[in-house]
Amino acid sequence: MIQSGWQQSSEARKVFRMNTRKSEDRSRPARVLSVTSGKGGVGKTHTTVNLGLALVKLGKRVLLLDADIGLANINIMLGFKPASTLLEVVRGGLDIEDVIVHHASGLDIIPATSGVTDMTNLSEEERITLVGAFDNLANKYDFMLVDTGAGIGTNVLYFNEAAEQILVVVDPEPTSITDAYALIKVLSTQCAVKEFDIVVNRAPVGSDGREIFAKLAAATDRFLPVRLSFLGAIADDESVSQAVRRQTPFLELYPSTRASRDISRLAKKVAESPGSRTPKGGVQFFFRALLEQ
Ligand SMILES: Nc1ncnc2c1ncn2[C@@H]1O[C@H](COP(=O)(O)OP(=O)(O)OP(=O)(O)O)[C@@H](O)[C@H]1O
Ligand SMILES: [Mg+2]
């Protein structure tokens, strides 16, 4: 059962200890997936949190990185108070573990308020300190999911470029599709990213989302040197907005609604897929790439 947990809860500490123990005998680097979109408000944060939770339910160790300083942060969605900031890690005294929130759900989170979005504005010395601190996270997780925020701002591009797999969330609105196209175009032309996984959120009743994917793919196939894959769709479901008010992930509150079934299917597909064709070496190298850009 999920509590609106804060890292001090005994349940959270128990899960954390379990995760730490599990981590000791696994050595494969985490797969780092960014969850991004051209247009805001299409469902990135819900997708990140619930996909993460569905992966936890599959026995995976998951770290969420909230790289979006916007209003509806992961900490609001999960109802916890942000922890310490990376500044305290940079200035010494705190360990990276002190910034990570161990939520009762089993998810670990680096909140946006930790200063993660300012990471690309650091001095050389601060960068070196942080790279070293993040190295301690190597092999502790199976997946890191990065909620990037929307659009083609520098921060969004940096986080996507450093990830090994990019999930672009679109909804059926025409502007969501044109803005996704614009983001894919910038990532492919400026950052040489060629592969994208598309998640269609808010798929209407009777639709499996493929026709929305097809609209985007028709445009990219014609004009851009990229490959799009259809990862899956999440139904438009009122349980999602109800979950927001309860500050609990919809998968936990309403595990058998359409949106929950969809996100569980998506997680299974992600977990069973071999991962990126161009693995970039896990959490450790994600932060190195980010800080060295
Ligand atoms: N599958 C869905 N069914 C119904 N409503 C949804 C669904 N997904 C998202 N929503 C609605 O859209 C709102 C925005 O979702 P979310 O905060 O995840 O988007 P976002 O892309 O992270 O937004 P931002 O760009 O502002 O960070 C939610 O509060 C919810 O009301
Ligand atoms: Mg968001």
Asked, for residue 2, whether it belongs to a domain, the answer is no
Asked, for residue 1, whether it belongs to a domain, the answer is no
User: Which residue range(s) make up the domain with 286?
Assistant: 10-292
Asked, for residue 149, whether it belongs to a domain, the answer is yes
**Structure confidence at residue 135 as a pLDDT band (50, 70, 90):** confident
Average pLDDT over residues 270-289: 81
Q: In the numeric block, which tokens belong to residue 198?
A: 């598309």
pLDDT score for 4: 39
The kind and range of the H/E element at 75 are helix 74-78
- Nearest ligand to residue 236 Cα: 1
Strand 108-110 and strand 62-66: the pairing is: parallel
- Nearest ligand to residue 47 Cα: 1
pLDDT score for 112: 87
Flag the least confident range among 122-136, 205-219, 275-289. Answer: 275-289
Q: Which atom of ligand 1 is nearest to 37's Cα?
A: 21
The predicted-structure confidence for 235-271, as pLDDT tens digits, reads as follows 999 999 999 889 999 999 999 999 999 999 999 999 9
Q: In the numeric block, which tokens belong to residue 60?
A: 């995976």
Mean pLDDT taken over the chain: 87
Q: Closest Cα to atom 19, ligand 1: which residue?
A: 43
Asked, for residue 5, whether it belongs to a domain, the answer is no
Asked, for residue 167, whether it belongs to a domain, the answer is yes
Strand 143-150 and strand 62-66: the pairing is: parallel
Q: How many domains is the chain built from? A: 1
Q: Closest Cα to atom 18, ligand 1: which residue?
A: 43
Give the neighbor-by-neighbor strand order of the sheet with 108-110.
101-102, 108-110, 62-66, 143-150, 31-37, 165-170, 195-203, 227-235
Asked, for residue 243, whether it belongs to a domain, the answer is yes
Asked, for residue 269, whether it belongs to a domain, the answer is yes
Interatomic CA distance for residues 88 and 95, integer angstroms? 8
pLDDT score for 124: 85
Which residues' Cβ are closer than 6 Å to ligand 1?
A: 37, 40-46, 68, 70, 72, 150, 201-202, 234, 236-237, 240-241, 244, 259
**Structure confidence at residue 162 as a pLDDT band (50, 70, 90):** very high
The predicted-structure confidence for 73-90, as pLDDT tens digits, reads as follows 899 899 988 878 888 888
Average pLDDT over residues 129-146: 89
CATH code assigned at 189: 3.40.50.300
Ligand 1 midpoint to CA 95 (Å): 33
pLDDT score for 118: 78
Pocket residue to mutate for ligand 1, from 46, 76, 247, 266, most atoms within 8 A of Cβ: 46
Asked, for residue 194, whether it belongs to a domain, the answer is yes
Q: Closest Cα to atom 23, ligand 1: which residue?
A: 41
